Amino acid sequence: MSKDELVCVGAISGAYGVKGEVRIKSFCATPEDIEAYSPLTDETGKRSFSLAIVHSVKNGFVVRIAEVATKEEADALKGVTLHAHRDQLPSLPDDEFYHADLVGLTVVDTGGTELGRVKSVQNHGAADLLEVALPDSSATVLLPFTKVAVPTVDLASGRIVADPPEGLWP
């Protein structure tokens, strides 16, 4: 299975209680939709997890995973990312994107000069930010993922046209 066929929809943040239940954080636009994509896999696609939401908790859900019966098994899953097959996910409107589709895209300015590559997509509460790795450097810049700062996303050509705010780029 190709890695491109999998989209990260959540992560296991640790054990909950002593009966093998785990806490998960959902990355879905509607957080409880993560259950509908079950069974989910790890990032390799080799391990499968059938989940059922037990109840919500701060920043996520408590879920029962059919394959996990003990607290020790649940503890061992902490940090595992949960992935759905792309064909399980809804198609998006033209101006929305799955984070997985943005990572790796080349970022150019409106004049065509390469600014870097998208390393990750982050959200610290206000809005999405593209973490852009600068060419030939380990440094990164956080670019607001707004229509003003990122007027064009062209998945077919693998690039983003950015008009970053003044002073953002070194």
Q: Cα separation of 120 and 122, whole Å? A: 6
Of 58, 88, 118, the position where a domain reaches its end is: 88
Contact 158, 106 (CB under 8 A): yes
The model's pLDDT over 62-104, given as tens digits with 9 standing for 90+, comes to: 999 988 999 999 999 999 999 999 888 888 777 788 888 898 9
**Predicted TM-score of the model (pTM):** 0.72
The pLDDT tens digits for 14-32 are 999 999 999 999 988 889 9
Beta bridge partners of 8: 83
Buried residues in 35-48 as b, exposed as e (16+ CB within 10 A): bebbbbbbeeeeee
Indicate the number of domains in the chain. 2
- CA angle, 98 as apex, 93 and 101 as ends, to 5°? 115
pLDDT in tens, 43-71: 898 999 999 999 999 889 999 998 899 99
Strand partners, 142: 131
Q: Which residue among 88, 111, 126 closes a domain?
A: 88
